[in-house]
């Protein structure tokens, strides 16, 4: 069994084990065990990957494997990883692990809950390791479908509406994406050979410029919807608000990253001409997302909405970094993907923890929580500071790379966009501090005087995330090195 | 000499912070205080030892102070030239700061053992003090301008946490938020300045940036933007960051509110160390400010500094909250330091302003920290910040009284106290370069003496009000730091500063310009005499005066309504007219369109679902009518 397929197999084994278990209180233990294995495997993968690179393997992807699974259309189960995917896999396993701790007390259909969560994550793993367009697409769909159930069944508030909206918008995006993928497929053999979905095979072909210009927006928008591209981001605030905590964490932390990753891996890599042609247009949408998300967050009253709009803003920075098309900005965009994943997951975890106690997420109904639940309060403040890009946390590293990279363009258009993007850090500070000032500080409220303190599983879940946030924030060189080495073959094509 | 020891200087406070921060519920008062004081004692001793031996022993080689990179390592790698490094740079500038920062921090750590006794959150307080000390030391030892930016943000957040220390109080929360956001806004300027440097200078390294040949090449190849070189713009934007931290007009509005924090914090952060970071930054980049395009950016520094020093001094005349008087006084004194840098030249005696600015930074740290700690002792004794509740305290608080008087004399520039020497150098430098700025500084010297002695007499003389509890002198932990700082405030003026700090790193000689010095002492004494007249004994002279000035007094008292202006811009314009419409637009237009698409699909299917009724006769009818229509069309087509 190769090291990568295990990432799809272990979840299946975990699901089988969950099916077999009868005792309700063991479900979470089984799910946890499965994901501890998964997380350890992801660390091992990074280690193995670095060993492989150190031993002089300079292929774009390592640990590759290629098995045909649908010959008539030449679809392969083709897998492999580079530095970007190994870190993304680590992100996914850590966030799911933390999510399992946070949902330790789920008592409504726990077995089904954990199964859906695991199916979702195995889709994500599959997506990150494939390099066959069709296989990637299939894994992508596997990741999106369980979301409907998770929100529709375990959600809160107008959950049917939110689940429906989210699924329909993502499905619509998939349809657009599929057009783009099929476009690539049918142009993959210009001199009449076998058509292919293999990314690296397609990359060798000279795709006609007109084709690239036509299909680039399909792939970009198809992935952009899940990456909260303005104006297709509206599913995310409602979706997050209704989703249960672990799902919000996984969704904002990992699933939304598929967008930027797909754009980078497929749209930009395969259609360089299309990228240059469309970059400025999408850059405008990205910067609107950055500024607009931040400004809209100021006025929200629900904790989850604030975080959802904040995500729109921060993921806008990922797209912005990608569209700046240079090594530094790309590295920044990748780090931002990781960083936002951990930070937003921690944020959602904290919101879930607070909501579990106060039973409200409305900002004006809370005050002075720092006195009553100090540890939770402090962790929330730390998540907030990480979110507003304080040095020492991962967000700062990501943002600085993006800004410095973006500023290396010498024309006024890019300069203005960079400065606008940089100004979002002030707005972020405004909504984060407003939040901290209102709910954590101020006079404590009578009705919350007896809130219980943090539990061990909540603490474990959040500390895991905090650890990675500070790790990236204090050791950016190490992460930057892994990423920038893997970016080189991609940047060279543009 | 083993300089590797220096790495401990920032790391010990960091370790203390982590220790106290992680175990903040286990480590109780006063143990956390002892841990903090112990850590700072070690840091101070190492720092003093290094700084003093740098100046007296190994720093000076062939008549020039060396810039020693003790340690550096890459932290973020952009390109081979452009990278963010973390490290320690030892030169006269950082050596001076190695005396100021640990000394004041050490005194404040000790003082707080008494002052914060019995207040909730004792451990939290010491944790944040350590975090601040770590960040401030990291800032002053930076090898790289991006390293300064990083620690700049960290001092910002420690300041935020300490201003909001009494977080149950609404005003403290608001003040903390305001301080963070205003400085963050200023830091945006700093950041954009850095981005410009990243592109046009291609490096963040201080040794390269301050290299004179490098600056000449920058001048040669400069791109212009709106008539000025882009590098000048970068410097102005970087200065904007400095102005935010150093509370220069118009970014000063956070500093008076920051007085919501505990008084020792005001002494450490908002008087002696963090607020001079802007001065330090300009001094660090001084060769750039001076040589890029013949110092246009430096001119901005000079005028902003001069205006602020006057503006703040005028406001300080009318305030009643003793901490706010001191806050405005701090602003005014930092304005002095900025204007001194602004009028400075380069090399030997030309660089007098630069030296004077650093000298004033040093002496000001001593006497202003002393004033704040004294104010803390007073507040501790009378439980009020307002001078209306005070009077006659000289009998009750003898140590505080004498030390406060020393500090007041020092800040008023009365010889032989420290402030006299540094202020005299500043005024001499200003006189040589710009008479208008000199005159501003000269007038402000008189105003400073007046408002300081207004404070002094109002607190310690006037008449005895009815105290509910008889005020009593603070404990030893508080008075000993006062006495040490009083010693510094009295005698640190005799340090031959020009032997140590200069623009070109070579010692030079200064002498006191007796004519100018006499004039400024004269106006200082005049200010003091006026204060004696107004405030030594209880009388209504000041009220009559205030009434005579009417509208001008009201404007000054309300700080010229700058706060209200900001409030109007943020609350009324940005929140109401930008942010709220954005949120509305998102809910109703963007999302509305998406829902509209969904709803119209439902609507269409509602309309056409009747077709699939399931009744055979309906289908038969559709079939027949469809067949009829098609055959009619066919018949029609065939007949033509």
Q: What is the pLDDT of residues B469-501, one digit of tens each?
A: 777 877 888 889 899 999 988 888 888 888 888
Sequence-distant (6+) residues with CB within 8 A of A169 are A225, A232, A234, A235, B594
Q: Are A251 and A380 in contact (CB under 8 A)?
A: no
pLDDT at B221: 78
Domain that holds residue A322: 6-493
Confidence of residue B570 (pLDDT cuts 50, 70, 90): confident
Residue A487: is it exposed, middle or buried by C-beta count within 10 angstroms (0-12/13-18/19+)?
buried
Mean pLDDT throughout A377-390?
90
Residue A193: pLDDT over 60: yes
DSSP B388: G
Residue B140: pLDDT over 60: yes
**pLDDT tens sequence across A148-159:** 888 888 888 788
Residue A356: pLDDT over 80: yes
Confidence of residue A493 (pLDDT cuts 50, 70, 90): confident
User: Does the beta-carbon distance from A477 to B591 stay under 8 Å?
Assistant: no
Residue B12: pLDDT over 60: yes
Residue in B150, B167, B586 nearest the CB of A370: B167
Give the whole-number percent of chain B exceeding pLDDT 90.
Answer: 29
Helix (H, G, I), strand (E, B) or coil at A377: helix
**Residues of chain A neighbouring B157 (CB-CB closer than 8 A):** 385, 390
**Residues of chain A neighbouring B160 (CB-CB closer than 8 A):** 433
Q: A210 in a domain, yes or no?
A: yes
Distance CA B299, CA B322 (A): 33
Residue in A375, A410, A430 nearest the CB of B181: A430
Residue B280 to chain A, least CA–CA distance (Å) = 20
pLDDT at B236: 92
Residue B92: is it exposed, middle or buried by C-beta count within 10 angstroms (0-12/13-18/19+)?
buried
Tokens of A52: 């492989």
Chosen for mutation from B17, B76, B87, B601 (greatest number of chain A CBs closer than 10 Å) is B76
Sequence-distant (6+) residues with CB within 8 A of A441 are A367, A368, A370, B164, B167, B168, B173
**Residues of chain A neighbouring B181 (CB-CB closer than 8 A):** 426, 429-430, 433
Element (H, E) at B608: helix B591-608
For strand B68-77 and strand B60-61, is the pairing parallel, antiparallel, or unpaired?
A: unpaired
Helix axes A476-491, A83-102, angle to 10 degrees: 130
pLDDT at B610: 67
pLDDT at A335: 92
Angle ∠(A469,A470,A472) on CA atoms, nearest 5: 70
pLDDT at B130: 92
Q: A414 in a domain, yes or no?
A: yes
Distance CA B438, CA B444 (A): 10
User: Does the beta-carbon distance from B598 to A328 stay under 8 Å?
Assistant: no
Instruction: Give CA B223 to chain center in angstroms.
Output: 31
Which of B159, B192, B429 lies closest to B277 in space, CA to CA?
B159
pLDDT at A22: 80
For the whole model, what pTM was predicted?
0.89
Chosen for mutation from B74, B86, B159, B168 (greatest number of chain A CBs closer than 10 Å) is B168
Helix (H, G, I), strand (E, B) or coil at B482: helix
Q: Are A248 and A348 in contact (CB under 8 A)?
A: yes
**pLDDT tens sequence across B395-437:** 888 888 899 999 999 998 888 888 888 888 898 888 888 889 9
| Residue A158, CA distances (Å) to A163, A373, A463, A469, B592 in order | 9, 29, 31, 32, 16
Q: Are B47 and B133 in contact (CB under 8 A)?
A: no
Least confident stretch, B234-243, B524-533, B547-556:
B547-556
DSSP H helices in A109-227: 110-129, 133-154, 159-186, 199-204, 209-226
Cis ω before B432 (30° cut-off from 0): no
Tokens of A480: 């930057």
Confidence of residue B284 (pLDDT cuts 50, 70, 90): very high
pLDDT at B613: 66
Query: How large is the ipTM?
Result: 0.90
Q: A173 in a domain, yes or no?
A: yes
DSSP H helices in A190-326: 199-204, 209-226, 235-242, 245-250, 257-262, 269-270, 272-298, 303-323
Sequence-distant (6+) residues with CB within 8 A of B159 are B132, B179, B180, B183, B258, B269, B270, B274
Neighbours of A282 (CB within 10 A): 23
Q: Tell me the sheet residues that pair with B90.
A: B68
Across B126-267, where does the E strand assignment appear? Answer: 224-225, 228-229
Q: Are B479 and B322 in contact (CB under 8 A)?
A: no
Specify the number of domains making up chain A: 1
Q: Are B407 and B367 in contact (CB under 8 A)?
A: yes
Q: A1 in a domain, yes or no?
A: no
pLDDT at A402: 92
Residue B497 to chain A, least CA–CA distance (Å) = 35
Confidence of residue A15 (pLDDT cuts 50, 70, 90): confident
pLDDT at B277: 92
**pLDDT tens sequence across A48-101:** 888 888 888 888 888 888 888 888 888 888 888 888 999 999 999 999 999 888
Residue B597: pLDDT over 80: no
Residue B57: pLDDT over 90: no
Helix (H), strand (E) counts: chain B:
26, 6
Tokens of B426: 């500043």
**pLDDT tens sequence across B323-373:** 989 999 999 999 999 999 999 888 878 888 899 999 999 999 999 999 999
User: Does the beta-carbon distance from B150 to A434 stay under 8 Å?
Assistant: no
Residue-averaged pLDDT of chain B: 86
Q: A305 in a domain, yes or no?
A: yes
Question: Which residue, chain included where needed, has tokens 């350590």?
Answer: B130
Q: How many CA atoms lie within 13 A of A394 on its CB side?
A: 28
Residue B564: pLDDT over 80: no
Distance CA A6, CA A4 (A): 5
Helix axes B92-115, B352-382, angle to 10 degrees: 0
Q: Are B388 and B399 in contact (CB under 8 A)?
A: no
Q: Which of residues 315-334 of A touch B (CB under 8 A)?
A: 328
Across B468-607, where does the E strand assignment appear? Answer: none
Tokens of B507: 């010692």
Residue-averaged pLDDT of chain A: 87
| Residue B47, CA distances (Å) to A170, B4, B7, B17, B90 in order | 60, 12, 10, 19, 11
Element (H, E) at B61: strand B60-61
Q: Are A227 and A260 in contact (CB under 8 A)?
A: yes
Q: Are A149 and A247 in contact (CB under 8 A)?
A: no
Residue A178 to chain B, least CA–CA distance (Å) = 21
Residue in A419, A434, A477 nearest the CB of B76: A477
Residue A1: pLDDT over 60: no
Distance CA B294, CA B537 (A): 53
Asked if B549 reaches chain A (Cβ–Cβ under 8 Å), the answer is no
């Amino acid at each position: 069994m190769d090291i990568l397929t295990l990432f799809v197999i272990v979840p299946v084994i975990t699901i089988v084990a969950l099916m077999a278990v009868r005792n309700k209180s063991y479900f979470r233990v089984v799910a946890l065990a499965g994901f501890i294995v998964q997380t350890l495997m992801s660390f091992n993968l990074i280690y193995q990957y670095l060993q492989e690179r150190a031993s002089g393997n300079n292929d774009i992807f390592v640990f590759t494997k290629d098995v045909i699974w649908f010959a008539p259309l030449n679809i392969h189960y083709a897998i492999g990883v580079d530095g970007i995917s190994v870190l993304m896999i680590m992100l996914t396993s850590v966030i799911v692990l933390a999510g399992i701790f946070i949902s330790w007390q789920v008592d409504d259909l726990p077995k089904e809950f954990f199964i859906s969560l695991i199916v979702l994550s195995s889709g994500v793993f599959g997506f990150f390791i494939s390099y066959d367009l069709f296989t990637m697409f299939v894994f992508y769909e596997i990741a999106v479908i369980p979301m409907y159930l998770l929100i529709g069944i375990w959600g809160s508030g107008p959950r049917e509406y939110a689940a429906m909206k989210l699924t329909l918008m993502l499905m619509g995006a998939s349809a657009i994406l599929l057009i783009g993928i099929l476009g690539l497929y049918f142009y993959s053999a210009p001199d009449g050979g076998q058509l292919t979905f293999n990314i690296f095979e397609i990359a060798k072909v000279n795709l006609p410029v007109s084709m690239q210009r036509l299909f680039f927006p399909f792939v970009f928008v198809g992935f952009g919807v899940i990456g909260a591209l303005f104006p297709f981001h509206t599913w995310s605030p409602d979706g997050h608000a209704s989703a249960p905590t672990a799902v919000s964490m996984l969704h904002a932390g990992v699933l939304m990253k598929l967008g930027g990753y797909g754009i980078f891996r497929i749209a930009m890599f395969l259609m360089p001409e299309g990228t240059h042609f469309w970059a400025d247009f999408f850059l405008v949408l990205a910067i609107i997302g950055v500024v607009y998300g931040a400004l809209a967050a100021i006025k929200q009253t629900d904790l989850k909405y604030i975080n959802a709009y904040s995500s729109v803003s921060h993921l806008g920075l990922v797209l912005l970094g990608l569209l700046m098309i240079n090594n530094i900005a790309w590295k920044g965009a990748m780090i931002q993907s990781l960083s936002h994943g951990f930070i937003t997951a921690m944020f959602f975890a904290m919101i879930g923890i607070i909501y579990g106690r106060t039973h409200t997420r409305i900002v004006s109904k809370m005050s002075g929580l720092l006195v009553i639940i100090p540890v939770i309060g402090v962790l929330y403040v730390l998540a907030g500071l990480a979110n507003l890009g304080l040095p020492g946390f991962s967000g700062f590293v990501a943002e600085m790379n993006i800004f410095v990279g973006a500023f290396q363009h010498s024309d006024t258009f890019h300069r203005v966009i960079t400065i606008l993007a940089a100004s979002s850090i002030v707005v972020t500070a405004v909504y984060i501090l407003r939040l901290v000032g209102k709910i954590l500080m101020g006079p404590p409220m009578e009705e919350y005087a007896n809130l219980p303190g943090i539990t061990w599983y909540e603490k474990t879940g959040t500390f895991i995330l905090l650890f990675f946030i500070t790790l990236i924030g204090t050791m950016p060189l190490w992460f930057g090195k892994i990423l920038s080495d893997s970016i080189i073959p991609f940047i060279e094509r543009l | 000499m083993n300089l590797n020891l220096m790495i401990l200087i920032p790391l010990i406070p960091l370790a203390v912070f982590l220790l106290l921060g992680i175990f903040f519920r286990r480590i109780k008062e006063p143990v956390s205080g002892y841990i903090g004081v112990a850590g700072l004692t070690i840091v101070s001793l190492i720092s003093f030892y290094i700084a003093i031996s740098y100046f007296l022993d190994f720093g000076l080689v062939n008549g020039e102070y060396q810039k020693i990179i003790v340690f550096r390592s890459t932290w973020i790698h952009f390109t081979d030239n452009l990278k963010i490094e973390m490290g320690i740079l030892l030169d006269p500038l950082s050596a001076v700061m190695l005396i100021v920062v640990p000394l004041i921090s050490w005194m404040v750590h000790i003082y707080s053992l008494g002052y914060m006794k019995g207040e909730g959150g004792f451990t939290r307080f010491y944790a944040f003090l350590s975090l601040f000390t770590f960040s401030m030391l990291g800032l002053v030892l930076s090898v790289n301008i991006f390293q300064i930016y990083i620690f700049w943000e960290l001092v910002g957040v420690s300041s935020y946490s300490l201003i909001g220390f009494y977080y149950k109080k609404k005003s403290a929360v608001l003040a903390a938020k305001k301080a963070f956001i205003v400085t963050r806004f200023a830091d945006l300027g700093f950041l954009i300045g850095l981005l410009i440097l990243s592109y046009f200078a291609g490096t963040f390294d201080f040794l390269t940036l301050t290299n004179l040949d490098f600056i000449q090449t920058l001048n040669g190849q400069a791109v212009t933007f709106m008539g000025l070189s882009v590098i000048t713009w970068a410097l102005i934007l970087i200065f904007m960051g400095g102005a935010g931290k150093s509370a220069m007009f118009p970014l000063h509005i956070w500093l008076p509110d920051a007085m919501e924090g505990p008084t020792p914090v005001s002494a450490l952060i908002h008087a002696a160390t963090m607020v001079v970071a802007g001065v330090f930054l300009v001094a660090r980049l001084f060769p750039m400010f001076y040589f890029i395009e013949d110092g246009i950016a430096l001119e901005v520094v000079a005028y902003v500094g001069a205006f602020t020093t006057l503006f703040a001094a005028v406001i300080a005349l009318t305030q009643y909250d003793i901490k706010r008087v001191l806050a405005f006084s701090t602003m005014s004194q930092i304005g002095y330091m900025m204007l001194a840098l602004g009028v400075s030249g380069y090399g030997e005696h030309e660089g007098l302003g630069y030296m004077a600015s650093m000298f004033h930074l040093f002496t000001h740290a001593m006497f202003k920290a002393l004033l704040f700690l004294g104010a803390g002792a007073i507040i501790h004794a009378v439980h009020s910040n307002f001078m209306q509740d005070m009077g006659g305290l000289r009998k009750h608080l003898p140590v505080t009284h004498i030390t406060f008087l020393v500090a007041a004399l020092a800040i008023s520039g009365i010889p032989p106290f420290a402030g006299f020497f540094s202020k005299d150098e500043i005024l001499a430098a200003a006189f040589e370069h710009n008479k208008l700025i000199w005159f501003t500084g000269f007038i402000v010297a008189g105003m400073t003496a007046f408002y300081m002695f207004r404070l002094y007499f109002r607190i310690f003389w006037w008449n005895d009000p009815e105290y509910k509890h008889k005020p009593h002198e603070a404990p030893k932990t508080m008075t000993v730091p006062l006495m040490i700082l009083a010693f510094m405030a009295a005698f640190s003026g005799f340090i031959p500063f020009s032997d140590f700090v200069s623009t070109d790193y070579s010692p030079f000689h200064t002498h006191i310009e007796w004519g100018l010095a006499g004039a400024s002492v004269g106006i200082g004494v005049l200010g003091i005499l006026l204060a004696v007249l107004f405030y030594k004994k209880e009388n209504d002279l000041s009220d009559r005066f205030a009434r005579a000035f009417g509208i001008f007094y009201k404007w000054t008292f309300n700080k010229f309504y700058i706060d209200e202006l900001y409030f109007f811009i943020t609350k009324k314009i940005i929140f109401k007219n930008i942010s709220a419409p954005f949120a509305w637009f998102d809910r109703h237009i963007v999302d509305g369109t998406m829902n509209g698409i969904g709803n119209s699909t439902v609507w269409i299917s509602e309309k056409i679902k009747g077709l699939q009724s399931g009744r055979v006769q309906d289908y038969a009818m559709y079939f027949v009518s469809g067949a009829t229509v098609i055959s009619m069309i066919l018949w029609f087509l065939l007949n033509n």
